[in-house]
Amino acid sequence: MLRLGVQVSIAGGIHYSIERALNLGCNTMQIFARNPRKFRKSYYLKKEEIEIFKKKLEKSGIFPLIIHSPYVLNLATPKRFLRWITVKEFVLDLIEAEKLGAQYFVTHTGCFKGTTEEKGLKKAVKSLRKILKRTENLKIKILLENTAGSGTWLGYTFSHFHYILKELNFSRRIGVCLDTAHAWSAGFRINTQEGLDNLLEEIERNVGLKRLKVVHLNDTQDELGSRKDRHFHIGKGKIGEEGFSLIINHPSLRELPFILETPKKSEEDDKNNLAVVRRLYKDEVYSRN
């Protein structure tokens, strides 16, 4: 069964996101549980808000619920105070996400601006080690999302995730989220069978496909290996419909939840992008010649 959803707005109250997802015909979804461009400060969801959300979620049939970490958090920063805030708020976000009933918490590994890639990875490990220790009673999984590799962002190669997992003793609470637009911009030619298989082989070699839990389904108009992080409508960019047909029907991916983070000027944009994915999805797994 196709598990398909979008990044849904929480405007007006977090529980309204469930109604928005259902109106689009989604059976999974992703949200920001708070403003992604601000630090938490004194903001907390009220107990009543969490209870309303959980009740609606249980009745909705939406599964899994995925929450994306705020953009302001940076696990790899060399700035000690920012890293302290990141760890503190990341822990609070994880606790809140589990209360809401989320299965996965997606995050970028971080940006190492001001230092080196190697040191950035070490900082990310240090941050995640603290987070895991302070939330060892939680079940929710942290998913590291691959990036396009623009600027000083980590995560453009899955060897980064291998390093992090190894340093964290391959914690079962750490998984991976694959973003198709980011993969393309990082140099993976995923619109061909060979290119897609090469990407999946790299994931298997570095982290294991069993740790891949969510796919962010996004097209892009940027060239292969551009290192630019710009999403576009499904099938209308460089990956194209043929590429997305390969991706969503691949035996190693087709059972995973797919989340669209495509451009959105109106609800019609989500409807159109969802319709393309549903049209391309095959009821039976394709066989290779």
Please tell me whether the overall predicted TM-score, pTM, comes out greater than 0.85 for this model. yes
The pLDDT value recorded for residue 283 is 79
Question: Is the separation of the CB atoms in 57 and 19 below 8 Å?
Answer: no
The arithmetic mean of pLDDT across residues 170-192, rounded, is 98
- Where residue 158 falls among pLDDT bands split at 50, 70, 90? very high
pLDDT at 285: 52
Q: For position 41, what pLDDT does the model report?
A: 78
Asked if 146 and 179 touch (Cβ cutoff 8 Å), the reply is yes
Lowest-confidence segment of 19-33, 145-159, 273-287 by average pLDDT: 273-287
| Inter-residue contact 109 to 76 (CB < 8 Å) | yes
Report which residue type is found at 126. Answer: K
The reported pLDDT for the residue numbered 289 is 34
Note the pLDDT of residue 288: 42
- Cα separation, 243 vs 246, in Å, equals 5
Q: What is the DSSP string of 61-91?
A: T---EEEEPPTT--TT-S-HHHHHHHHHHHH
Statement: residue 286 has pLDDT above 60:
no
Q: Is 156 in contact with 146 (CB distance < 8 Å)?
A: yes
Distance from C-alpha of 212 to C-alpha of 232, rounded to nearest angstrom: 23
pLDDT in tens, 193-219: 999 999 999 999 999 999 999 999 999
Q: Average of pLDDT values for 66-84?
A: 97
Q: What sign does the dihedral 19-23-26-30 (CA atoms) show?
A: negative
Evaluate whether 65 touches 22 at the Cβ level (below 8 Å). Answer: no
User: Is pLDDT at 222 greater than 60 in this prediction?
Assistant: yes
Give the angle 156-158-159 at the CA atoms, nearest 5°. Answer: 110
CATH class of 3-280: alpha beta
What is the pLDDT at residue 16? 98
Predicted local distance difference test score (pLDDT) of residue 44: 87
* The pLDDT value given to residue 284: 63
- Predicted pLDDT of residue 115: 97
Contacts of 151 (CB under 8 A, 6+ apart): 111, 113
Segment 214-227 shows an average pLDDT of 98
